[in-house]
Every structure is written in C-alpha cells, then in structure tokens.
Amino acid sequence: MRVEYGVANGSLTDQELDRIENCEQHADNMTDRALAAGDLTWRERRKLDRVHDRESPFIYRQKHDRQSQ
C-alpha cells in the first residue's frame, strides 16, 4: 500500500518503483521456492523475515528522498 500511495502522490519515480518491484519479486520468488519443498523451516522463515525487514526502510528512503515525478 505504501508503494501505491507513493506512486499516486508522485513521491516515487518510475526508476524507484522498478527497484522496489524487483525487490518484492525477489522476496516472492524466495517464498515460492521455500514453500515448494513443503513447510518452511525456521531458517527459511528467518531468512524471509530479514529480506522483508530490509525492504521496509528501502521503501521509506525512496519515498522520502526529495525526488518526484
């Protein structure tokens, strides 16, 4: 939702949006691969949590870097 709001109000450029979408796609691919083998192990869950935890500040920085469309 934060990304959609950033696009709507112009605080995210197209290039920033592409980077964010690539990060999200990478996280989704990791999740899909982990779930393909069955249940998530605690290590897989921890790794996915770390990926998502890194995404959040990245999105914040991109939205607040004073670039606009």
Q: What is the pLDDT along the chain (69 residues), one digit of tens a residue?
A: 888 888 888 888 888 889 889 988 998 998 898 889 888 889 989 998 998 888 888 888 888 887 766
pLDDT value for 69 = 62
pLDDT (0 to 100) of residue 25: 93
pTM score, whole prediction: 0.71
Residue 31 is assigned to a structural domain of this protein: yes
Is 68 contained in some domain? no
Residue 18 located in a structural domain: yes
- Per the structure, the complete domain to which residue 14 belongs is given by 2-63
What is the domain count for the chain?
1
Q: In this structure, what DSSP letter does residue 39 have? A: S
Q: Is 20 exposed, middle or buried (0-12, 13-18, 19+ CB in 10 A)?
A: buried
- In this structure, the number of other CB atoms found within 10 A of the CB of residue 24 comes to 15
